[in-house]
Structure 1
């Protein structure tokens, strides 16, 4: 049976629109307000919610997300509780959750135990942004055998041959737009370059790619979609909106979701043209 993430990707392909993924720490700003925020986001058109496990956020996250992770962790009693909160945040059964686990998560739990907990909580996708890609691929192959979808975090050009040669079926990729912290200034040229390198490396492989880091609104989404992305990830702005309330969350999703309507990944020659012609 296909995972929720696969079903969502198939639906988006039929509807010819890009994927909108958001990010929140589990239980932020409080467990009750987390439920309100996530349901508002899904109700307004969010496709996928990336939910981080309790614990400190690493240096790749900016100060706003680091502070949110600290606040959220105070109200969450471990990984099983975080995953139950995430599962309960769905507005509908097919709403898609990606459980994000930092390296520090595995100070308290093994990879296999984490996959067990995902199954128990009915969360069928995950992301390991601090694991080297070689480890992500090895874990991902085991996870797919269990019906759990890996989202592969990619930020180094030198990892592209590994990804191209991997046995992961139709990889779903989270592409870091540039070498910056979350909430930093978006670099359209670097994002376009990384999407072009990915398309060239995976020319004979079916894949889906969403771009995050510095993506704030329709302008950044237009850039990444024109250059070959299948979707975009909104993190810092969604965290800020969740702290303000569900109405702000819904307003944010309402603002950015239309930028993904009627969008499909361009052919390679169109990507090259988009890179050459200034916006």
Structure 2
């Protein structure tokens, strides 16, 4: 199997410290603006995009992302619009796009159909924050069938046996949760992120990307001292909510300074 995301991570790391991975909810504040915002991120230093699927009952999202998703849903966002948005972004910028989706939304579309539509719109794969490999049989089969990346989450509470299973079933990278709790910018990225990354490396993972709590260029650089990627969500969503695409672009460019 090939991995578009792994290839991009390796290519970026050959040139600088590592990639900046940026998250935005599709459809926020509206569909057209979310497309424009994703393009602006790619043009201002974001190497890989996570397009979140707005969901009414999130378990991982903090208040900034929850509010953005509720606004998108209130404006009538529907899952099929996700694929249109990705196709439009991919037509303008050559950046890998991962969908971040709670598994229930994928099941509602049909796992095989969801995977097929990811391929058709040009997405690289999906991150499934509420799905563990043990219960991912249909998604593992479909992602193999369509050669899609699949990213599972690892946390500091996971046993080595669990981490090994996550590594074996992930393709692209392992989403390394920096701290327990929901997403949101923090003054300090939890030190457990470094410990967890070291554990993943010791178990054979080559691409551990750290997310949750990263909000400054300095934090991006700090994470890239020990991990293969830095993931930023709430800081970008907040910038888009506060100042539109222009402020989002400035924030992305500032965060990207930490990758050098």
Task: Please report the TM-score for the alignment, with normalisation by the length of structure 1.
Answer: 0.82
Please say if residues 132 and 152 of structure 2, whose CA atoms lie closer than 8 Å, have aligned partners that are also in contact.
no
Residues 171, 25 of structure 1: alpha-carbon distance in 2 compared, 3 angstrom cutoff? closer
Deviation at 1:57, TM superposition (A): 5.0
Q: 2:237 is matched with which residue?
A: 239
Deviation at 1:106, TM superposition (A): 4.0
Deviation at 1:171, TM superposition (A): 5.0
Q: CA RMSD in A?
A: 2.4
Q: 2:148 is matched with which residue?
A: 148
Q: 2:192 is matched with which residue?
A: 190
- Structure 2 gap ranges (5+): none
Q: 1:176 is matched with which residue?
A: 177
Q: Distance in 2 between matches of 1:76 and 1:83?
A: 15
Task: Please report the TM-score for the alignment, with normalisation by the length of structure 2.
Answer: 0.87
Give yes or no for the alignment of 1:222 onto 2:221. yes
Please say if residues 87 and 97 of structure 1, whose CA atoms lie closer than 8 Å, have aligned partners that are also in contact.
no
Residues 218, 184 of structure 1: alpha-carbon distance in 2 compared, 3 angstrom cutoff? closer
Deviation at 1:215, TM superposition (A): 0.6
Count of aligned pairs between the two proteins: 257
Q: Distance in 2 between matches of 1:198 and 1:17?
A: 19
Deviation at 1:184, TM superposition (A): 5.1
Deviation at 1:126, TM superposition (A): 0.6
SS of 2:152's equivalent in the other structure is strand
Deviation at 1:254, TM superposition (A): 1.4
Task: State the 4+ residue runs in structure 1 displaced beyond 6 angstroms.
Answer: none
- Structure 1 gap ranges (5+): 262-279
Deviation at 1:142, TM superposition (A): 4.5
Residues 138, 176 of structure 1: alpha-carbon distance in 2 compared, 3 angstrom cutoff? farther
Deviates more, 1:76-85 or 1:236-245: 76-85
Please say if residues 184 and 213 of structure 2, whose CA atoms lie closer than 8 Å, have aligned partners that are also in contact.
yes
Deviation at 1:138, TM superposition (A): 7.1
